[in-house]
Amino acid sequence: MRRANVLIVILLASPVLAACGKDSPRSAVSAKPATTTAPRPPAATAPPRSTNDGCRAVPAATPKESADRRRPRRRLSRKRAYIATIRTNCGTIRVRLDVRRAPKTAASFAALARRHFFDGLAFHRIAKPGGNDFVIQGGDPLGNGEGGPGYTVVEAPPATTRYRRYDVAMAKAQSERPGTSGSQFFIVTGRDPGLEPVYAILGRVVGGEDAVRRIAAVPSDPASEAPLDPVVMSSVRVRSRRR
């Protein structure tokens, strides 16, 4: 999959960027043969965080192979409200999926969450050009911006769409059609990011804005925009209720 990123178009940005045993001892007189267990890899340890940012120290996410899944066909009811609960080491974020404006995009995200696709994945990108908040991005099994679920959904947003702080949308490669999405999503952290209306709408944060701010404050590499400390999603679950 091509690298899915949110393009930076604000004036403060520098150049435009394309938007982890031992042998068992046995008695010599035992009638049973000695058994040997396979060596086990050392348990992953969480290195101390470089800053006191309110996030728990966790091991870096382990990259997974890009999936090869079928596009989900199950639809979500417009009569119900769907809330995605994203648990991270920086806090819990709740996103209300926009089933009415983006039914296919919301249904795809919910299907991936049901399959535990996002569990253990990272927020691999924290973009803040010139020190200004822009977006935080996650949902890539490879952890480098190039992975996905093995399929895409296309649901172009209205031309009048404006992305505001705490809006949630889907990342896409620059060469892909407007509204194309896989599994990578982003949360807008800038007040006025100036994004073109080409990113499929997913929903809006309705709880855990403090967790979003903590993630956005994590230091990141100015060139790659990768966080210097791991930000990992332990789980993503979608629940519904009547409106």
Backbone angles phi, psi at 131, to 5 degrees: 85, 5
- CA pair distance 102, 122, nearest whole angstrom: 24
- The reported pLDDT for the residue numbered 15 is 36
For 4-23, write each residue's pLDDT tens digit.
777 654 333 333 334 434 33
Tell me the longest C-alpha to C-alpha distance in the chain: 82
Residue 234 has pLDDT above 90, yes or no: yes
Element (H, E) at 107: helix 103-114
The total of structural domains in the chain comes to 1
Helices (H) and strands (E) in the chain, counts: 2, 10
User: Is residue 116 one of the residues assigned to a domain?
Assistant: yes
For 182-220, write each residue's pLDDT tens digit.
999 999 999 989 999 999 999 999 999 999 999 999 999
**Beta carbons within 8 Å of 121's beta carbon, 6+ residues apart:** 61, 64, 138, 139, 140, 141, 143, 232, 233
Average pLDDT over residues 12-41: 40
Residue 24 has pLDDT above 90, yes or no: no
Banded pLDDT at 37 (limits 50, 70, 90): very low
Whether the Cβ atoms of residue 173 and residue 182 lie closer than 8 Å to each other: no
Q: Which two tokens stand for residue 180?
A: 């194309």
For 138-160, write each residue's pLDDT tens digit.
999 999 999 999 999 999 999 99
User: Is residue 33 one of the residues assigned to a domain?
Assistant: no
174, 194, 85: which is closest to 133 by C-alpha? 194
Q: Which domain holds residue 219?
A: 80-242
What CATH number is associated with residue 109? 2.40.100.10
User: Is residue 7 one of the residues assigned to a domain?
Assistant: no
